Structure 1
Amino acid sequence: MSAPRAVRHPRFKLLALLAVFVLPLLVAWVMVAWRIGIPEQRTAHGELVPDIPALAEWPLAEPHAPLEGGDWVLAFDCAGSCEALADQWWRLHRALGSEAHRVSRLRIGGDSQALPGEVVARWSTPPGWRRPDQLWVLDPRGEAVLGYSAGVEPRDVLDDINKLLRMNPESSVKSARQVAQQ
């Protein structure tokens, strides 16, 4: 009598089962050890700026109380063509669409009047980390997250802000605070 087929090749089944679980681990180890197949691309267009102090510590002449509402802040130093920069970042703010209420704009410098939704301030003493026409994205706590040098493409900034807003959904604490104010 011959053995039933189910018991005939138990080693093959065991090896196949081990391969299903061990092969992905082996492939992952090879990718990490020899840097094969790991993407080298960046996901953010701006530079991380851990050396920049929180917004509350910035040497601004005017108070920045209107920005302390728990919003993300798009702060830019207006040194050169201030009207063009203010308009450019206003348009970017409008391009955020339904997420625009989560972002505030802070313009530092310039002689023109504030655009809608913009707070204007001036440096009391320009800090050493300041660069003319630079742009910073600050989180709701006022910590600088990303910095952009002069001449950055607004589309790149918009991509980064959309990613940040998508990865950090609106908090229920802020929603409760808005309901309490109404």
Structure 2
Amino acid sequence: MGADIHGFIECRVTYGTLDEEDSSYRTAIDLDMLYGGRNYDAFGCLFGVRNYAGFRPLAEGRGLPPEVTDEVRDYYEGAPDLYHSATWIGWEELSAVDWDEPALTLGVREYWYSPERGRYQSARTLQSLDGHSEGDEWMQEGKIMRACRMTRREAVREDGEWDPVWAVMKALADVHGPECVRLVVWFDN
């Protein structure tokens, strides 16, 4: 059974408030409006869920934030037998990530040429190393295989499915400050 991600972007609104310290978080947008994928490498890299590539997760197991909005809490608590692994990450953290940081685990990646993108694409495989060392390359069934450690940038591509999420978070951070924007997520399977 697959795991899907759910959640919301929240923002502590500071624009036009008299006392920024007293402003509370508001639900900005449902993650379903921006992200429709199921990328286990990204889930593992960001939140530690289905972490097959062996990343040091950025925001694993934090639960819901203490001052989470009522809308987000109600959505999450509305299906207690279905949802799990609630966590959150702020824009301030995301904007400081070293996207070239490699996974902790060595694995095998397969590469093939994508004519649409004009470059080689890669995908995680569950194949064993079969005696290969880091950096080794070989051909298998017409694909280039490489023993390597996936980087965060490969798991969460700059031009990939997370780009709309980051764009909305950045836009809100530009107005309200990076410390006032966060992504609250959970998973089902």
TM bucket (normalised to shorter chain) is under 0.3
Q: What TM-score comes out, normalization by structure 2 length?
A: 0.21
Highest RCO, 1 vs 2 (Cα 8 Å, sep ≥ 6): 2
Higher strand share: 2
Higher helix share: 1
Q: What TM-score comes out, normalization by structure 1 length?
A: 0.21
Q: Which has the larger radius of gyration?
A: 1
